[in-house]
Structure 1
Amino acid sequence: MERLTKKQFPKNQAAITCLQFGEGNFMRGFVDWQLQQLNNQGLYQGNVAIVQPLAHGLSEKLAEQDQLYTVLLQGLVDGQVIDTTEPITVIERTINPYEQWQEFLALAEIDELAFVFSNTTEAGITYHDADAHIDTPPTSFPAKLTAFLYHRFKMNKKGLTIIPCELIDRNAELLKKFVLQYAQSWELETGFVDWLHQENHFYCSLVDRIVPGFPKDDINELHQRLGYDDQLLVKAEPFMLWVIEAPEELNERLPLKKAGLNVVLTDDLTPYRERKVHLLNGPHTAMVPLGLLAGVTTVEEVMKDPLLSSSIDTLVTHELIPMLQLPEEELLAYARQINERFLNPFANHQLQSIALNSVAKFQTRLLPILKKYIEKKEDLPPYLTVSLAALMLLYRSDHTNIQVNDEPEVLSRFTEAWADPQTAVLHLLKNPSLWGEDLSVLPNLTEAVSSYVTQIDQKGIRNVLQELKG
């Protein structure tokens, strides 16, 4: 079958207006897909230059396909199955700065350039002391960006709008902090620092779309469906959300909202981050021990199991949502969307994979809700407490059919504690290395978790959940 090239799909004809650090599945299925929608609707004319952040990446593969690839959207929207494909034509070129440093800097000279997007993973926004201004290139993403911006400043070009997509709290603030730190350590002139502050805008953002990536199990069937061979095809769910902490005028320059995309411009990202962490990631973390102990293996199976789905629904509506800041109706609408996403028949989202580092995930995603619930209601949230008890048992080594994947130190803490089943729960809750604090001081938590552990052991998780349901 013929390889995808511009013979099948003409390239988008526009100037490069966007610089993108990162060529992985997420950026191609999220940012570039959105820019394609803008261009399709005639709301914006602009192409993308991609910078490969690591020495080894997809630049060559993209070049082999004339910077073209296909996005496959599969999932449920309002109960209807979505299964569509779309060629993405907005990528003009890709640069590997480890081999094309001067070509990378030359992009800074483009007058039409207006935006910088990035997703260099959570480990990407870092500061490396060894990075020097003479390096071609320096190691870290912030150092590369500093060199790029400095070259643009020296060319007397206008500033840029920089919107990182890394899953780091206050991502743009951290990125700007490191850029300024490099400017200082490289002893760049104060005029550059003034230009950074006055003419460049760093906007924090929160991204939300599940992008499984290359669908290798179905690729032959998909190639037959498409009529061409695409080695960079990206599978994503239909749902997407981009929350950007920026003024409304951004929508005039980048009219994502006008294009009907699920983009929120806000002056405070925090409630939206809490909503995603606690209403999307939180239920995922809660359902893992409940589902695995109940003998199911995927998120979809959990949501199709009447008892398990009812338990997750009650946890969301009665324990999570009342503790969050946004209007209740908005939270309920978001929760309904999440239900559809969890029911995605194309996802095959394994509980075992979500179970990775469940203790740290419980600390981040569910513990703040547990503590807030106790403080506000002077009581324990029953389903969160049962989930915590189930987590304790999941990490007990006698569940031979369930493989727990976590840091060795975490697993050793559980092994040590479960050596004495009578005191295991207390020892685990007291351990700040697991939860960041001593949870045994929370009123009645030790007794309740211990009781649920015993009940689950004796009756099984399904009977405990059924009794809780009443």
Structure 2
Amino acid sequence: MIQKTLPKLSNDFRKLKRYPTRVIQFGEGNFLRAFVDWQIQQMNKQGLFNGGVAVVQPIANGRTKNLDTQNDLYTVLLEGKLEGQTVQEHEIIECINDTVRPTEDFDAYLDLAKIDTIEFIFSNTTEAGISYDPNDKLVPHQAPNSYPGKLTALLYTRFKLGKKGFQIIPCELINHNGNELKRIVLQYADDWQLGANFKQWVETENDFYATLVDRIVPGYPKDRAEALQQEWGYQDNSIVKAEPFLIFVIEGDPKIKTLLPLKQAGINVVVTDDMQPYRNRKVSLLNGPHTTMSPIARLAGIETVGEVMADKDFYKFVNDEMYQEIIPTVALPEAELKAYAEGVKERFENPFVKHELSSIALNSISKFTARLLPTLKRYVAKEHKLPLRITLALAAYLKIYQGQASFAPQDTEAVLAGFDKIKAQPNYIHLALSETAFWGEDLTKINGLEAQVTQFLTDLDTKGARQIVAEINAN
């Protein structure tokens, strides 16, 4: 129990002034708070940005009300190694001015369009968040379901007010995320008959950037939270733990370097006209192994990334996936890829970070599609055989989504409903792999994949995940 003498985190702890709101942020989860908001805090401390954030809770269930109870303050705890030096530090993040819940008060959300000082829109609504919902409508007092639908409504309100547009910087881990977000906004503009002038305003008065974000954020340190709060001298129910490493790659108009002076604040940001090499390296060699290990290790009773890397069998499994299945498929110099892989393993082994595999498992189907399916297809095209480790991960996901694990899948309502319809069918594997709504294509057309997934599902039931990992390691 936290001692009653500890004060609750509140405005009494503020050191910086409350700046005008310059940012709308869709998402209040751990990542954005330890990534975007942390960076804004660094710029504000140095007098480079002087802006606050209005956080929009993109779905009905979220934690903005928890943040409100402590005046939207929270602590970021950085622990790990950076450039060979051990980092252990914490900081109260003070840049959030307000929180808004469109599903509860859509009009209050649209009122954000009236604020002249707002220039930037950031988002991280997971890979599933940048998607088109044909059921979304623009009606009074009712928020569209999707993030792009909500954004379109906000932009249209801004347009009708005759105000300037925004710098729109999505952080969702899908390729060309800014282009895809813009495409869906324009699709809604057509669906809702918002007019050619609005579409022209979207095109000419707003800038959509593509990004790559990289920082491992395990989230709330539940095993140490009480001790940390005693050490710091205040209560905080929204602590976010992260590694000190960070890179933010932004593709788009170079003016963003001036508008958003991250580099001047000493932050590892890259503004480029081609982010693909950075994306391919990171998505393949960091997110890919994360997405592979999550279902397999959890089925074996392992709970964290650190435990995976400390386990002899699973360490070899992850290492071999990197060197045998991923690196041969990425079109970058091999030496550079190997050096990056070793750095990723060091980050995975970070003794200060307890990165729960369950947190990686959120929206696993879209993550597999974005992070592993391209590698699987490139590997098959090059080697004319299946990458067994990635294929095992796919089988493990199908086992979990069929309801055959001791834990439940965490995904969008649409994905879970899709699996509910087929999980009791005798041809479940075929139906799951052929469902284009899950993967964007029919995976049964990949030679041998259905047969191998079927075999792995049988093996998972009879042998267990650890035994299969050991057998693959022995090959």
TM-score by length of 1: 0.78
Alpha-carbon offset, residue 33 of structure 1: 0.8
**CA, structure 1 residues 183+364, in 2 after alignment: closer, same or farther (shift >3 Å)?**
closer
Deviation, 1:324, is 0.7
Match for residue 74 of structure 1?
79
Rounded Cα–Cα distance in structure 2 between residues aligned with 1:106 and 1:341: 42
Q: Return 5+ residue gaps in structure 2 as ranges.
A: 1-5, 410-418
1:219 aligns with 2:225: yes
The reply to whether residue 142 of structure 1 matches residue 145 of structure 2 is no
Report the equivalent of 1:44.
49
Match in the other structure for 2:215: 209
Report the CA distance between 1:289 and its aligned residue.
7.5
What is aligned with 1:420?
none
Aligned length: 448
Q: What is the CA–CA distance in structure 2 between the aligned matches of 1:343 and 1:205, rounded to whole Å? A: 26
Measured after TM superposition, the shift of residue 220 of structure 1 is 1.6
2:69 aligned residue = 64
CA contact (8 A) 1:48 1:91 kept: yes
- Note the C-alpha offset of 1:355: 7.1
- CA-based RMSD of the aligned residues comes to 4.2
Give secondary structure in 2 for the equivalent of 1:216. Answer: coil
Higher Cα Rg: structure 1 or 2? 1
Q: Is the 8 A contact 1:356 1:404 kept in 2?
A: no
In structure 1, the partner of 2:169 is 163
Partner of 1:177 in structure 2? 183
Letter in 1 for 2:215: R
| More divergent stretch after superposition (47-56 vs 353-362) | 353-362
Aligned twin of 2:123: 118
Q: Check whether the contact 1:47–1:91 (CA below 8 A) recurs between aligned residues.
A: yes
1:395-415 CA-to-partner distances (Å, cap 9, x unmatched) read 899xxx9748665678668x8
Cα distance in 2, alignment partners of residues 429 and 106 from structure 1? 45
User: Are the equivalent residues in 2 in contact too, given 1:131–1:140 (CA < 8 A)?
Assistant: no
AA aligned opposite 1:231: N
Partner of 1:153: 159
Identity %: 44
* Aligned 8 A contact 1:75 1:238 in 2: yes
Q: Provide the secondary structure at the position in 1 that maps to 2:54.
A: strand
Aligned counterpart for 1:385 among listed residues 381, 388, 398: 388
Tell me, in whole angstroms, the C-alpha distance in 1 between the residues paired with 2:174 and 2:103.
26
Q: CA deviation at 1:136?
A: 5.0
CA displacement, residues 189-238 of structure 1 (integer Å, 9 cap, x when unaligned): 43322221111111222333333333333222121111111122222232
Instruction: After TM superposition, give the deviation of residue 12 of structure 1 in Å.
Output: 3.2
**Residue type of the partner of 2:159?**
F
Q: Which moved more, 1:362-371 or 1:144-153?
A: 362-371
Query: Structure 1 residues 56 and 352 mapped into 2: Cα distance closer, same or farther (>3 Å)?
Result: closer
Q: Deviations over 1:321-367 (max 9, x none)?
A: 23112344443343233112211224334557767898986666445
| 2-structure distance, mates of 1:94, 1:295 | 38
1:429 is displaced (CA, Å) by 13
Structure-2 residue corresponding to 1:191: 197
Amino acid corresponding to residue 134 of structure 1 in structure 2: P
Tell me which moved more, 16-25 or 356-365.
Answer: 356-365
Matches within 5 A, 1:204-283: 204-283=210-289
Deviates more, 1:358-367 or 1:108-117: 358-367
Match of 2:344 among 327, 338, 341: 338
1:312 aligns with 2:314: no
- Partner in structure 1 of residue 22 of structure 2: 17
**Structure 1 residues 8 and 375: CA distance shift in structure 2, 3 A:** closer
- Give the structure 2 partner of residue 421 of structure 1: none
Q: 2:305 aligns with which of 296, 299, 321?
A: 299
- Quote the residue 2:413 is aligned against: none
Q: Specify the SS of the correspondent of 1:258.
A: helix
Q: Which deviates more, 198-207 or 326-335?
A: 326-335
**Which piece of structure 1 moves more, 16-25 or 310-319?**
310-319
User: Deviation digits for residues 238-287 of structure 1, max 9, x if unmatched?
Assistant: 23333322132211111223333233323344444333332123223444
Conserved in 2, the CA contact under 8 Å of 1:70 and 1:232? yes
CA distance, structure 2, for counterparts of residue 102 and residue 360 of structure 1: 31
Question: Residues of 2 paired with 1:394 and 1:110: CA distance?
Answer: 44
Secondary structure at 1:111 match in 2: coil
Judged with a 3 Å threshold, the aligned counterparts in structure 2 of structure 1 residues 216 and 283 are, in CA distance, closer, same or farther, namely: closer
1: distance between equivalents of 2:111 and 2:85? 46
- Give unpaired runs (5+ residues) of structure 1: 418-426
With normalisation by structure 2, the TM-score equals 0.77
Contact 1:70–1:87 under 8 Å retained in 2: yes
CA separation of 1:201/1:310 partners in 2, compared to 1, >3 Å: closer, same or farther? same
Q: 1:408 to 1:248 in 2, by over 3 A?
A: same
Paired amino acid for 1:115: F
Match of residue 99 from structure 2 = 94
Residue identity opposite 1:40 in structure 2: K
User: Structure 1 stretch 46-55 or stretch 75-84: which is displaced more?
Assistant: 75-84
What is the CA–CA distance in structure 2 between the aligned matches of 1:253 and 1:269, rounded to whole Å?
A: 19
Whether the 8 Å contact between 1:108 and 1:148 is mirrored in structure 2 is yes
